[in-house]
Every structure is written in C-alpha cells, then in structure tokens.
Amino acid sequence: MPFWSKTVAAPQWIDTWFKDRTPRFLRLLPAVEPQTPKGLTPPVRLTIDDVGPLSAFWTTNYGGDDWYMDAQPAWVSTYLNDPAVIVLGAYDGACLVATIVSTPFSSAATELSNGGMLPFGSLRVIEGLCLAKQWRSRGVAGYMIGMMDCWTSSKLPVAHLWARETSSAPLMSTALRTDTYAMLRTKDAVETIGCSKMDWLQFTHLWHMSVGSWNLEDGEWKKPPCIFSKKPVNRSGAIDVWMVKQRPDMPTGLRQVVVVLDSRRRTIPGDERIFEVIWCGFLIGSKLRPALALTQRTGSFEFSPFLESIAANYKDAVLFASSGAMGGGANSKWGKPWRYGCSGAHSWYMYNYMPPAFGSCEIMAIRDEI
C-alpha cells in the first residue's frame, strides 16, 4: 500500500537491522492531509444517525471470498456511541463507499517492554477499512489511512497498530509478529476437558491485579518484547472468558484460561459464526500469567485439548487459533479436527512509534476487533 512507503512515521525494513528500540514517536508533527481522489468526498465522522447505512455497507462490502461481516446495527452502534472511537466515511454522491475506524488499543494506559508508556488514546488501532467494490485498487485505502492519520494527529502525536491477513507469512517485513492460523469446525469438536465461563468483572479484576507483573522479570518469567494493555475492552459483549474446571489430577493452583472473541464474521457458504482465540494463559493462585510463562518454564504446554473442549460449546461455528502463544500455540502437529496452515497468516504492524521488537513482539490485550 503506497501510504506506508511514503510516510516518515512508518518503520522501514532497514530499521529491523538495528538494535535501537528506544521508545519514541517517529513523527511529532501533524500528518499532511492527502489529496482526495476524484469523485470522492473528503471523509466525515459518522455518528449514531448513520448506523443503518453503515451496517448495510459493512454487511455488503466487508468480507472475502469465504466470509462476510454480519454487521448488525446493535453491534455497530457500540462503536458509533463510543466518543473515543473515530469512524470516518467517504461518499460518492449520496452513497457511502469507504470507511475506516480508529479505536483505542486499551481503555487505560498502554505499557511497552522497552520502557514506553502511552496514555489512554495515544495508542490506537486502525480497523474497519472497507471499500465498495467499484472503488478498490484505486488508491483509496491509502487515502483513507492518510485521512485518519490527519484526524488523530492534529493535536498530539498518536501511534497506531494495524493488522493484515495474508495467504502466507511474509519473508521480509516490519511486522511486529506474524502468526499462522489453525481452524476447526465446532461440530467436529468434543468436550474432553470440563470448562466453564468466568464472569467478565472477575476476569478484568484479575487482569488488573496481574498485568503489572508481566513487565517485570522473576525466577519463573523472563519478559518477552511486548505491548501490554492495562485494561481489557469488551465494548459489545462479544468476548467470552473460559476456564478449566478444577479436577483432582490438576496441579494445585494452575488452571488454563482462554479468551475467545466473536468476530461477527460468518462463513460462505454455511453461514457459520467465526470465533477467534485472542489470549491464552493460566490462573496461578490469584494471578493470571500469559501462556508464554509456562512455555518458558516447561518448554511447551498443550492448549489444543482445552480449545477443542471450548469449541464444543459453540454450535454451528468455526474456531480459529494461531501459532503464537497468545493464540493457543497451534502448530503442524495438531491433527484432526484441526486444519493448520490452510487459513493464512495474521501480522501486526506499528505506525509512528518504535516497537520493542520486530518479528517477536507479543501483543497482550483483550479487546473487541472489527
């Protein structure tokens, strides 16, 4: 996308060669407004009055060959009603033809393992980038990103995260990390491990009490390069937290915890709901620990049986896990009912801030995603 190669605020491939990860904004001045493509109106901020047209636009245009977005108005309104979320829409005459969304990464401050601390709203996520089919491959996507850059950087410097899905992992890139997907259909899953949902307020309390220690090293935990969300976000109630039921053979004070997001996507064909694993860890005593903590200590920890048990609780759906520790640690050894490496890869990128690492940076966050 030309936008990323033309701006000084985007890390370049050569940056991955050097070890200077001093936390800093890459550009302090406001972004320059890009030229509006011919036939397109400059974007405006959408409000709750636009919920109907926006819901219809995303349902029709947001998707791929094998999925679409089930953008129900009640779900879309949770974004339009949130004053911290910016939803921009561009028109061709009276028709909405392009959208982009900038959402706070966390509902509190964000901490980085390289010593950076970004207050609420200073780290945001680009999502909801959607174009009408007739406006694709015309440079409009880069234009919409540039306009959102202008909106968000007009007063103070702002950093953004953005994600990209590709058919395979890129060979050379400035991605913070890239993970390979694994998927299963829930009709093929069997609950072999008892699991139950954790109350959301209980989970957020545990996260708040635990997250501060993840940026500190001790005898059992060597912190990875990481971006930590200080407070989970469950704006639309689309996030479930699952925990293993206590068993007599289970190590004392060690219980697996998995967070699953209803992505609002549905498969084509089949119309199955698509769920995604967004965080895996453990409840050890009264503290949460990321899955990576046990991987460091024991060399591996198998999440697939628990994920299959969770999947069995969702009817007519597809569950995605990924190769990263937070996504379940999927790998090519996961046999049926899993299909590994057939659904592409997911990469995270950072804009206008020096990340703790390229290629190996963990994203520790619980949040809605469009």
Q: Is the dihedral of CA 185, 232, 60, 137 positive or negative?
A: negative
* 113 domain residue, yes or no: yes
Task: Decide: 120 and 114 in contact? Cβ < 8 Å.
Answer: no
Question: Which among 123, 140, 165 is the end of a domain?
Answer: 165
Same domain, 134 and 197: no
Looking at the domain assignment, is residue 252 inside a domain? Answer: yes
**Whether residues 297 and 194 fall in one domain:** yes
Domain count along the chain: 2
Lowest mean per-residue pLDDT among 5-19, 106-120, 245-259: 245-259
Q: Is residue 170 assigned to a domain? A: no
Closest CA to 4 of 31, 40, 38: 31
Predicted confidence (pLDDT) at residue 30 exceeds the cutoff of 70: yes
Q: What is the predicted pLDDT for the residue at 336?
A: 94
For 136-146, what is the mean pLDDT?
94
Question: Same domain, yes or no, for 247 and 357?
Answer: yes
Q: Are 135 and 202 found together in one domain?
A: no
**Band of residue 247 on the pLDDT scale cut at 50, 70, 90:** low
Question: Does the pLDDT of residue 183 top 60, yes or no?
Answer: yes
Of the candidates 106, 135, 165, which is a domain's last residue? 165
d(CA 19, CA 78): 41
The strands making up 110-112's β-sheet, listed across from edge to edge, are 117-118, 110-112, 226-229, 362-364
Quote the mean pLDDT of the chain: 91
- Give the sign of the dihedral formed by CA 246, CA 251, CA 253, CA 255: negative
pLDDT cut 70: percent of the chain above it: 93
Same domain, 14 and 161: yes
Q: Identify whether residues 185 and 252 lie together within a single domain.
A: yes
Question: What does the block give as tokens for 168?
Answer: 């395979």
C-alpha 200/C-alpha 332 separation (Å) is 33
If asked whether residues 278 and 310 sit together in one domain, one would say yes
Q: Do 155 and 225 sit in the same domain of this protein?
A: no
The pLDDT value recorded for residue 18 is 82
pLDDT for 169: 81
CA distances from 12 to 175, 314, 362 (A): 10, 42, 20
Specify whether the CB–CB gap between 276 and 326 falls below 8 A: no
**Which pLDDT belongs to residue 271?**
96
Q: Domain containing 94: what range?
A: 2-165
d(CA 190, CA 337): 9
Residue 173 in any domain: the answer is no
The pLDDT assigned to 302 comes to 83
Report yes or no on 172 lying in a domain. no
* pLDDT score recorded for residue 10: 87
Mean pLDDT of 11-26: 87
Look at residue 219 and tell me whether its pLDDT is greater than 70.
no
Residues 349 and 264 in one domain: yes
CA atoms within 13 A on the CB side of 298: 8
Inside any domain, residue 193: yes
Alpha helix positions (H), the chain: 2-6, 51-61, 73-80, 140-153, 200-210, 291-298, 304-311
Tell me if the bond preceding 269 is cis, omega within 30° of 0. Answer: yes
CB 188 within 8 A of CB 318: no
Does residue 111 sit in the same domain as residue 254? no
How does residue 354 score in pLDDT terms, banded at 50, 70 and 90?
A: very high
Residues 289 and 218 in one domain: yes
pLDDT for residue 297: 52
**Which pLDDT score is estimated for 250?**
56
Same structural domain, 73 and 94: yes
Dump the DSSP string for 33-80: PPPPPTT-PPPEE--GGGHHHHHHHHHHHSB-SSEEE---HHHHHHHH
- Answer yes or no: is 369 within a domain: no
Residue 341 pLDDT: 92
Is 80 within a domain?
yes
Q: How confident is the model at residue 100 (pLDDT cuts 50, 70, 90)?
A: very high
pLDDT of residue 305: 95
Q: Which is nearest to 67 in space by CA: 339, 343, 348?
A: 343
Q: Name the band, by pLDDT with cuts 50, 70 and 90, for residue 240.
A: very high
Give 297's DSSP letter: H
So what's the pLDDT on residue 208? 93
pLDDT tens string 255-268: 899 999 999 999 99
Q: Which of these three, 165, 187, 207, is where a domain ends?
A: 165
Q: What is the CATH number of the domain that holds 36?
A: 3.40.630.30
At residue 1, does pLDDT exceed 60? no
Q: Using an 8 Å Cβ cutoff, are 227 and 361 in contact?
A: yes
Q: What is the per-residue pLDDT for 11?
A: 87
